[in-house]
């Protein structure tokens, strides 16, 4: 007996390379249940991935981060938070934020465009902070990093040198919304094999010997990404926050 959905799932889904959450190619012709979505490799890619860009930017501060670009404050554990979603009102999720004046005008435009995609595709709304005590402070710090989910107090999302890229910005915003990296999923080993012996200590996804650190179980599957959110990412956000329609309108 075979579950056709499971077969479809196995033959079409792959996860990202370590530290590259959610972002991948999507094959719209293949239906997969939204609660089982992973990234789908539709075509090969040759070039620099978001993952590599983030780790390069974070090289000077790697010892202060977990999983390459996740910041965990001294008062908060690194365990996945089960109640860190942003509040929802009248069908919309409000995420207050501030944008540092240290960014150039062109940087601000790039950041706002990356934010706008969430508004167009999900019920999440990043709104300018007024008096809220819990908000995302987007700063031009050292490296690209974010805390995961709502912390209940001001939380930093850094977009430093090398981080002003649509895909990287959305990657960090997804962290702020509550998403951890895909390689932490409990069913990871169904889809990829992690080669722990090849992983360099510290930055847990650069090879220490030139060999691969992660390979898809289905050898022809493509992994890695470099552009921005996929349809899968959008579906996951809408599922996490129970958006009734993609644009947030009831």
SS3 of residue 34 by DSSP: helix
- Is 64 a known ligand-binding residue? no
Give residues with Cβ within 8 angstroms of 74, minimum separation 6. none
Q: Rounded to whole angstroms, how far apart are CA atoms 22 and 38?
A: 7
Q: What are phi and psi of 95, to 5 degrees?
A: -120, 100
Measuring CA to CA, how many Å separate 24 from each of 15, 28, 184, 227? 8, 13, 16, 8
Among residues 123, 115, 113, which one has the least CA distance to residue 88?
A: 123
Q: Rounded to whole angstroms, how far apart are CA atoms 23 and 51?
A: 10
Measuring CA to CA, how many Å separate 112 from each of 44, 46, 106, 108? 29, 28, 10, 6
Q: Rounded to whole angstroms, how far apart are CA atoms 121 and 139?
A: 25
- Is 171 a known ligand-binding residue? yes
- Is 181 a known ligand-binding residue? yes
Taking the alpha carbons at both ends of the chain, their separation in whole angstroms is 40
Give residues with Cβ within 8 angstroms of 235, minimum separation 6. 34, 37
Active site residues per annotation: 172
Q: Rounded to whole angstroms, how far apart are CA atoms 113 and 110?
A: 5
List the binding residues for Zn(2+). Answer: 171, 175, 181
């Amino acid at each position: 007996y075979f579950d056709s959905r499971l077969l479809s799932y196995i033959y079409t889904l792959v996860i990202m390379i370590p530290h590259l959450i959610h972002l991948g190619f999507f094959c719209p012709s293949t239906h997969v249940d939204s609660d089982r979505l992973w990234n789908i490799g539709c075509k090969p890619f040759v070039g620099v991935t978001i993952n590599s860009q983030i780790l390069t930017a974070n090289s000077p501060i790697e010892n202060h981060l977990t999983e390459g670009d996740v910041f965990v404050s001294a008062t908060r554990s690194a365990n996945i938070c089960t109640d860190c979603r942003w509040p929802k009102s009248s069908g919309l999720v409000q995420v207050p934020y501030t944008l540092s004046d240290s960014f150039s005008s062109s940087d601000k435009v790039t950041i706002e465009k990356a934010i706008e995609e969430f508004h167009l595709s999900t019920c999440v709304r990043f709104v300018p902070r007024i008096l809220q005590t819990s908000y995302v402070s987007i700063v031009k710090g050292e490296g690209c990093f974010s805390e995961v989910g709502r912390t209940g107090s001001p939380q930093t999302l850094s977009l430093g040198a090398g981080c002003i890229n649509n895909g990287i910005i959305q990657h960090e915003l997804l962290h702020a919304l509550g998403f951890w990296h895909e390689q932490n999923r409990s069913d990871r080993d169904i889809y990829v094999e992690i080669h722990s012996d090849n992983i360099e200590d510290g930055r847990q996804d650069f090879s220490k010997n030139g060999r691969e650190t992660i390979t898809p179980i289905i050898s022809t599957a493509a992994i890695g990404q470099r552009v921005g959110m996929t349809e899968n990412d959008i579906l996951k956000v809408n599922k996490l926050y129970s958006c009734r329609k993609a644009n947030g309108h009831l």
